[in-house]
Amino acid sequence: MNEIKSIPEIYGSRVFTDSVMREKLPKKIYRELKKTIENGTELSPEVAEVVANAMKDWAIENGATHYTHWFQPMTGITAEKHDAFISPLEDGKIIMEFSGKNLIKGEPDASSFPSGGLRGTFEARGYSVWDCTSPAFLKEDASGLTLCIPTAFCSYTGEALDKKTPLLRSMEAINTQAIRVLRLLGDNDTAKITTSVGAEQEYFLVDKDIYNKRKDLIFTGRTLFGAMPPKGQQLDDHYFGALKERVAAYMKDLDMELWKLGISAKTEHNEVAPAQHELAPIYDDTNIATDHNQLVMEYMKKLAPRHGLECLLHEKPFAGVNGSGKHNNWSVSTDGGRNLLDPGKEPHKNKIFLTFLLAVIKAVDENAVLLRLAASNPGNDHRLGANEAPPAIISIFLGEQLEDILNQIELGNLTSSKSETSMTIGVSTLPSIKKDVTDRNRTSPFAFTGNKFEFRMVPSSDSIACPNYILNTIVAEALKEFADELEKADNVDEALDKLMQRTVKEHKKIIFSGNGYSDSWVEEAARRGLPNCRSMVDSVDSMIAPRTVKMFEEHKVLTETECAARAEIMYESYINKVQIEARTMIDMVAKQIKPAVIAYAKVVADTVASLSAVGADADVERELLGNITANISLLDAGFKKLKKELDKSVSIEDVKEKAVFVKDHVFTSMEELRKPADELEMLVDEEYWPFPTYGDILFYV
Ligand code: ADP
Ligand code: MG
């Protein structure tokens, strides 16, 4: 009971929250800082000095000894370099010090992070700059508590080298354009809009000792070999199933640590695949939700070993069972608390809702490949388009009610909204319940879910910054085009009706409510002219397409140079990750699989020889031996081929050409090599198999 009572006290206790600031800062300074946070006014050095001092006092009171600028480089994870607060005095003693300058600016070496050519090792300077819109917090590890100051990270030449900067820029961009549209639609009160995100995080938990025996899990985060066990996810008995004790203890621990950091971990349950789980927080402003999701992933990994577990965030740790994604729930709301994507009871009368809805539809249709890129990483290539999760084709699910409204708009006769009905379950003691106006569609990559869009393609292991700055920017662009047109009109109402009708006509092809996993959808989508990028490599060019660059520059989210750098980083990351996987396969085949299989083949061969020597029937043994040696030959051929393709890929200079080669030759050779290895696993005595199998990993916890 005590524990439950104290959760509101624990919650946010490690965060330099608004109420801590109000308590610790002089009124005037607090007001100045709030102005910067809320309205983006510039922060004066004097204010920074006072804030830094208060932050330091608060951190030290709580036991911190160090501080760090915490930033989000292009690796997809966060980075930090710890400095102690100590500062020497003349008498050999020290004081604990932290200045406004320390708070505002740090200088991490920029050359050791991916920069896409923006920084060479000889031009290393980079800056981390305090982002006061995201609260500072205390992180605990074996070294104690560290004050973490969220920052943006840029190069000496001013280019963004991180994922946070464009996200913050995109939030300003969509705000500017949304306010223009709101004014045209008669809203004169809203001063600011914000995009919110709730990121549902999927993950796997496996036993730590078993994990330690698999080089592929250690080096690549996924299994590169493994035959299917007799049981997978056929029985649907894991989804929402009762939690196993070890997992429950882990989740409790995780909740507690996240709550201390003010992260609203809310929903936890078992997912579809064995050993798969999910955590969903309550949504927040996009920049905060992004910081929080980074911390969620970090703490998921960090706390697992305490429970003898390892957390896998990879999109596809196991072939044959579901992979992991991140559902990025996204909406736009005003400072007055109105969710602009909330249709209300009679959406057909809600012009503001319809305008924003159509802006999203137009944005998604016009930037489908870019949005596909936004959800791309090498791991996600195993999910998207691989008959799982959403397909690689971007489409929007709206549901019956909104599709009906769009039809009416298209016909120029918008008069009604289908409404909720109630349903009874057929048992008199059960209450009748209100039925939602639409069903759900789990196969849609971009689904309207009542008052928000759920972008369901996002990779589980990556930062959500990129999907969200792309989403914010493409919607900002659509809103801008709407505003440009409406501002010129003599009669805004009439112009809006025309604009809505035209938008529906032009973009309805992106709307699809059927089964996104079916083959017929792939054909239908092709007929509709919707792009289908099966690999992330195919989508990277969309980042540097003239249209994209123009849009990012127009909204001051990315410059042309920054777009090019990001494209290069995507290629490089694809190449590096697949090459590491290939090298791991080569290592495992050479040092583990081959020796084990050859040793077992000898046992079988000896058996054949001794049985034959005494004139006994050795047909079964001989057949087994034949099967084994045939697969060893295939394994060897696959092994040699992969080595050759890998070597070739290393020698290619041009980054795009190299990525394409890696996809078409290295990646495909890896799949070929896996087949005989998985066959052999089923032929060899399990005592001989050199590492834990899928059955051991998936059902052990
Ligand atoms: P669903 O059942 O539709 O998945 P949930 O209520 O479980 O909806 O929410 C899933 C995620 O969406 C949660 O993280 C939740 O906080 C988030 N969410 C709910 N409303 C919004 C909103 N208006 N904007 C962004 N995210 C939201
Ligand atoms: Mg959901």
Per-residue model confidence as pLDDT tens digits over 1-55? 445 558 999 999 999 999 999 999 999 999 999 999 888 788 888 999 999 999 9
329 CB near ligand 1 (under 6 Å): yes
339 Cβ below 6 A of ligand 1: yes
pLDDT digits (tens, 9 = 90+) for 263-296: 999 988 888 788 999 999 999 999 999 999 999 9
Give the Å distance between the CA of 470 and the centre of ligand 2.
20
Mention every residue, 6+ apart, whose C-beta is less than 8 A from residue 260: 10, 11, 12, 13, 14
Give 460 Cα–ligand 2 centroid separation in angstroms: 14
Nearest ligand, CA of residue 331?
1
Nearest Cα neighbor of 207 from 312, 295, 302 is: 312
Nearest CA to ligand 1 atom 14: 198
Paired residues of 199 in beta bridges: 328
pLDDT digits (tens, 9 = 90+) for 560-593: 999 999 999 999 999 999 999 999 999 999 999 9
Neighbouring CB atoms inside 10 A of 236's CB total: 9
Residues forming beta bridges with residue 423, ordered by sequence position: 433
Q: Which of 171, 283, 338, 446 to mutate to test the pocket of ligand 1 (most atoms within 8 A of CB)?
A: 283
Give helix then strand counts, H and E, for the chain.
23, 19
Is the distance from the beta carbon of residue 280 to the nearest atom of ligand 1 less than 6 Å? yes
Contact in structure between 226 and 693 (CB atoms under 8 Å): yes
> What 8-state DSSP symbol labels residue 74?
T
Contacts of 240 (CB under 8 A, 6+ apart): 269, 270
Ligand 1 contact, 331 CB (< 6 A): yes
CB distance 281 to ligand 1 below 6 Å: yes
CA of 624 to the centre of ligand 1 (A): 54
Nearest protein CA to atom 24 of ligand 1, as residue:
331
Evaluate whether 314 touches 461 at the Cβ level (below 8 Å).
Answer: yes
Q: Answer yes or no: is the C-beta of 307 below 6 A from any ligand 1 atom.
A: no
Ligand 1 centroid distance, CA of 6 (Å): 26
CA of 367 to the centre of ligand 1 (A): 24
Residue 401 structure tokens = 């009610």
Distance from C-alpha of 339 to C-alpha of 316, rounded to nearest angstrom = 34
Conformation bin of residue 240: beta by default, left when phi > 0, alpha when psi is -120 to 50:
left
Residues within 5 Å of ion ligand 2, judged at the Cβ atom: 327
Q: What is the pLDDT of residue 407?
A: 96
Q: Is 200 in the pocket of ligand 1 (CB under 6 A)?
A: yes
> In angstroms, what is the span from residue 199 Cα to ligand 1's centroid?
8
Tell me which ligand sits closest to the C-alpha of residue 450: 1
* 326 neighbors 199 (Cβ within 8 angstroms): yes
* CA–centroid distance, residue 100 to ligand 1 (Å): 38
Cα–Cα distance list, 634 to 4, 319, 396, 578, 679 (Å) = 59, 21, 44, 22, 10
Report d(CA 684, CA 691) in Å as an integer: 12
How close is the Cα of 199 to the center of ligand 2, in Å?
9
- Residue 455: nearest ligand to its CA? 2
- Note the residue count of the chain: 701
CA dist., res. 294 & res. 77, Å (int): 7
Choose one of 292, 329, 360 to mutate for the ligand 1 pocket test, by most ligand atoms within 8 angstroms of C-beta.
Answer: 329
197 close to ligand 1 (CB < 6 Angstrom): yes
Nearest CA to ligand 1 atom 6: 282
Query: Which segments in the chain show pLDDT lower than 70?
Result: 1-5, 120-122, 235, 385, 387-389, 420-425, 432-439, 701
Strand partners, 153: 128
Residue 244's pLDDT is: 85
Among protein residues, the one whose CA lies closest to atom 19 of ligand 1 = 283
Q: Please work out whether the CB of residue 326 comes within 6 Å of at least one atom of ligand 1.
A: no
Task: Measure the CA–CA gap between 41 and 34, rounded to whole angstroms.
Answer: 9
DSSP state of 117: T
Which residue puts its alpha carbon closest to atom 1 of ligand 1? 449
Q: Extract the tokens encoding 198.
A: 């709730």
Q: Give yes or no for a contact between 352 and 182, defined as CB atoms under 8 angstroms apart.
A: yes
Measure the CA dihedral 338/333/256/304, to 10°.
140
Nearest-ligand number for the alpha carbon of 440? 1
* CB of residue 442 inside a 6 A radius of ligand 1: no
Residue 399 near ligand 1, beta carbon < 6 Å = no
What's the 340 CA to ligand 1 centre distance in angstroms? 15
* Start-to-end Cα distance in the chain: 29
> Beta-carbon neighbour count of residue 46 at 10 Å?
11
Query: Quick check: 533 and 133 in contact, CB under 8 A?
Result: no
